[in-house]
Chain A
């Protein structure tokens, strides 16, 4: 099909009359990796949560694969079947084994056979170096392992779009790279992804497009190289200068 996979137009979101997103426009093509950067509270996470309909939008429209998912009659459960999401704090289900975490949605939502779902889950665990953890409970895993399981859990539903909300922010520095590795691998397979991230080096490395958000406005958007080497907007420049000063780039 032609046209972007995801299109966000004039998106507004307010919390108690406080605007968090103010007319955001965003286009994401199939197989594109988009990184959202910006200070805490700039609206990155809220934008992702709106795309997954975990938040009700206050104005504007979001279109996925040609269907408007924010239309009044749209079924959020149907939309979420096509979009995967990974959270900062992993949010694995602590009462289920790794394998059950991964197969829950394929079995209950996508109506796949348990055997088939488990086979696929084991395949994914194998590929991402977690084959020996299938029977473990989340509490027994390191943060990096938990987050990799969370990514696998989202991927097990074969989403056409993956949303990653600051997935390395809660991790110890030495565990960040193992999570980044899995995301890079997904990019190589052609996965369409939107990442909200504070890891500028990673964003620069993996993103096709980088978007800078400031106070709920998508201020600047461009190829990663351009944003990081010659940002047009003074606010972008200022943000990157401060990040650089904190040696996170």
Chain B
């Protein structure tokens, strides 16, 4: 019988094809499961069978130590979260301003442009921990009136300067990725250069750089631990204090778990945004 669009009954051939696909699906699933189990068995078995495992278990995976240190480490972690939450918006603003300054074409603003280039070059080049030291210890040593002396503020400031340079480059890449024809179209409608940037180029650029920005912020969340080197009591520092009491490293594990708990949702959110952008680009997607 010939199938018309209204009376489509799947042909024998199609039914056989679908049966074959189902069989292949089941086979693939079982293969993946089996190989994962074997892989885990080898890794876990290897670690557990290693000669040093009993002492490692004792030093790194001590449940009693974990429970004892966790409340203090969590308390310290609150400091990391605060530094992160305050630094992040400042970094976004600074990065955007620097990126915009680099795009200025008016000769009047040449010094601003040069300053922006110098800033990104210098602060992307300095290791973050070095910057934290220089600002955390160097700035108070100047004994200038009105400068903050709180190490958490100084450390946060160092992170802002370092990450601001990275984020500025991310914004700049986003701005430059917008096709010049978009600017032409905006200018042809009579929009000024600033208006074309504000209404046409920037909104598209910002959307495009959200995933790389979130990636930078996952990195910033971890780097808040560097502020601990200035004596600020945050998660890593708390773990250090606990571990120094009896030379057990399990408190570090507690800190690691907390950092992971913060960055993993961020990573998944980034993936989600990227996937959504991908779907939107696909024909017929929303």
Contact = CB atoms under 8 A, between A and B. Distances in A.
B222 interface: no
Interface in B188-210: 188-192, 195, 199-200, 203-204, 207
B145 interface: no
Contacts of A109: 189-191, 195
Interface residues of B, number: 18
Choose among A52, A85, A87, A95 the residue with the greatest number of B CB atoms under 10 Å from its CB: A95
Contact of B190 (A81, A87, A89): A81
Contacts, number: 60
Contacts of A78: 190
A52 B188 contact: yes
A21 interface: no
Interface string A86-117: 01010111110000000011001110000000
A198 B192 CA distance: 32
A80 B187 contact: yes
B181 interface: yes
A74 interface: no
A87 B189 contact: no
A108 B186 CA distance: 11
Choose among A78, A89, A94 the residue with the greatest number of B CB atoms under 10 Å from its CB: A94
B191 A94 contact: no
Contact of B189 (A80, A89, A94, A139): A80
Interface residues of A, number: 26
B181 A105 contact: no
Contacts of A139: 280
A197 to B, nearest CB: 18
Interface in A146-203: 153-154, 157
A77 interface: yes
B181 A87 contact: yes
B190 A157 contact: yes
Contacts of B28: none
Interface of B: 181-182, 184-192, 195, 199-200, 203-204, 207, 280
